Chain A
């Protein structure tokens, strides 16, 4: 086992990120470069893309082919919304949500971004901050991605000019100051040549900051999780009803935020009943404390009627419990929103019926202007008022991604038609 300890992987953290940009920004090349230079590409993969590269008459291996699509995509000229790629360094394991550009980008990016800690916004150094850069950045802020890396790519095509880089950084800072972004970092790079991705290269010596991989390895993600408000949606109630476990009732779920200790007072919502935590278990382990995002089983001191969809909350910090709320809604389906129609709302582990009772405005994702509308189509983002038949237990999305998010499901087709973030 000593080798593992040397590698250190068994203690590595997990970072999920998304790279936003169109094909022209060199996104596939950047992802290919990260995988290649972090030695995450296998020989058989490399020889396969080398073969394709030479078939297409290219002199060098085209790293962007690593993220090339499926036969169905090539045949039909379509792209599937999200592919996931994996690589690891001794410090961290990375999951990349790779979302292709094109017209469905809003839907794809929101999907890929929903679980991301970090977004790389790719900017072509020759073109500067474009409409699409603003759109990607707005979406990253909407979905609450904690860390933004502005990757000013193709520096090789502007003679590695510091002036160009500085101007783009300034432009970006001006427009993004109105967005709620906590942490923005800027890196000049050439994904094609590998400068400032994993290696520093020797063309950007005026840049003293971190390489992309250095930043990905070291960005502080510990505080990305809400560590303050204990929220435990019950997924499954375990009642073995065997002789030795006759009265055992375990409430199984994942700590979505905050932490809890044995003996802590908890409130069960939406019933409002109170009890104390008796045990925190998982399989053969007993814990004194559990914290987000641990999956555990808890027992409580009292016999209460608790079932899936209920939420355990530390008694001194209460969420909202309501049948009406305002939310930002991203419409994902080709079928437009029918106002007044009932959809299934899935929120934490609770499913209720609900409807969009009012559309306040739609956001033009290119200009960020608010416009009046009475319908929503695929890729639309709007502020709406939701009404649900049973109360939900929720927090604002900006405070808590897990208890502030929901999806809408069409009852007839069973499709997921919208993603919502509670205001």
Chain B
């Protein structure tokens, strides 16, 4: 490599490694949020680059809604084991049992309640920083969020009271009980993530690739049939070739029709796609113009 061939992926990678090392050095007790999804898969490779041959200076943490696709959970466990790093899983079912989360129905989306289980885990382990895989291109609330996003003792994001972030001089100071969410891939787009997965030859859960699946067309999306999602009256199940652009709560994460069977084909499709990642796949982000903003204020990452 020479200076001339320093690409945008090299620049984004170097920035993310720098951010992770700042967290490790300045935060007393950080954790890395790992869900088994593509963005956090990229985070793990960046952590390997940042800290090998040493161990990660933080555990991996997954807030499990128990509504996850089984392929993703299997992948999560496999990848953590392969890395030999500690994985902490905190389940929303436990929060429900303890009465911390009250659902209207068993099958409703659990995404909004992840914040409660996350905040409980942060309190349990006294984490002062959580590294997450959120990107600014995902959503307009994210576009205005800092790389080091400060949260008060209730886990709340205050968009109008953010610390100025200049150069790469990050302010990591917190008072006891407060917490910072850190987003090393803030400046990456969906396409950057796939190009990096290709370049690094990273393994991803199988449901990212095209496969036959039973779905129910509902509103503007294709809902995957599962024990959580069954057809309503007048709805029909269709079996079509799909892939997932994001992997989240099974009750509200929709696949897109696609025959992209390899990372290269996904990149080609991503470069051509005309619909945003969340617009295509997340029913819960479409409920209002400000749904993500509201959830973040409640402690969502």
Contact = CB atoms under 8 A, between A and B. Distances in A.
B252 interface: no
B275 A42 contact: yes
A4 B198 contact: yes
Contact of B7 (A7, A11, A48, A81): A11
B169 A84 contact: no
Interface in B32-70: 48-55, 57
A414 interface: yes
Contact of A13 (B7, B57, B189): B7
A3 B271 contact: yes
Interface string A216-230: 000000100101000
What 8 pairs across the A-B complex have the smallest Cβ distances? A44-B279, A71-B290, A414-B173, A3-B268, A295-B17, A14-B8, A114-B166, A93-B8
Contacts of B273: 42
B22 interface: yes
Interface string B192-222: 1001001100000000000000000000000
B3 interface: yes
Given A10-B199, A72-B160, A239-B54, A44 B48 contact: no
Interface of B: 1-15, 17-18, 21-22, 24-25, 48-55, 57, 136-137, 140-141, 143-144, 159-160, 162-169, 171, 173-175, 186-187, 189, 191-192, 195, 198-199, 264, 267-268, 271, 273-276, 279-280, 289-290, 293-294
B14 A254 contact: yes
Contacts of B14: 254, 293-295
Interface size class on chain A is 35 or more
A147 interface: no
A250 B11 CA distance: 22
Contact of A349 (B9, B25, B191, B198): B25
A207 interface: no
Contacts of A2: 264
Contact of A70 (B51, B141, B173, B264): B141
A83 interface: yes
Contacts of B171: 346, 407, 409, 414-416
A419 B166 contact: yes
A86 B52 contact: no
A114 B14 CA distance: 18
Contacts of A314: none
B22 A235 contact: yes
A254 B166 contact: no
The main secondary structure of chain A at its interface with chain B is mixed
9 contacts: A42-B276, A42-B279, A71-B293, A71-B294, A72-B159, A93-B8, A239-B54, A308-B25, A344-B173
Contact of A10 (B9, B18, B21, B163): B9
B166 A111 contact: yes
A9 interface: yes
Interface of A: 1-4, 7, 9-14, 42-45, 48, 68-73, 76, 78, 80-86, 88, 92-93, 95, 107, 110-111, 114-115, 222, 225, 227, 235-236, 238-240, 245, 248, 250, 252-254, 259, 282-284, 287, 291, 293-295, 308, 332, 344, 346-347, 349, 401-402, 405-407, 409, 414-416, 419
A76 B160 contact: yes
The main secondary structure of chain B at its interface with chain A is helix
B186 to A, nearest CB: 7
Contacts of A88: 189, 191
Contact of B21 (A111, A227, A235): A235
B51 A238 contact: yes
B271 A9 contact: yes
A148 to B, nearest CB: 19
Given A3-B271, A250-B54, A294-B14, A13 B8 contact: yes
A169 B232 CA distance: 66
Q: Which of A70, A88, A225 has the most CB of B within 10 A?
A: A70
Contacts of B163: 415-416
Contact of A240 (B6, B8, B54, B137): B54
A287 B55 CA distance: 22
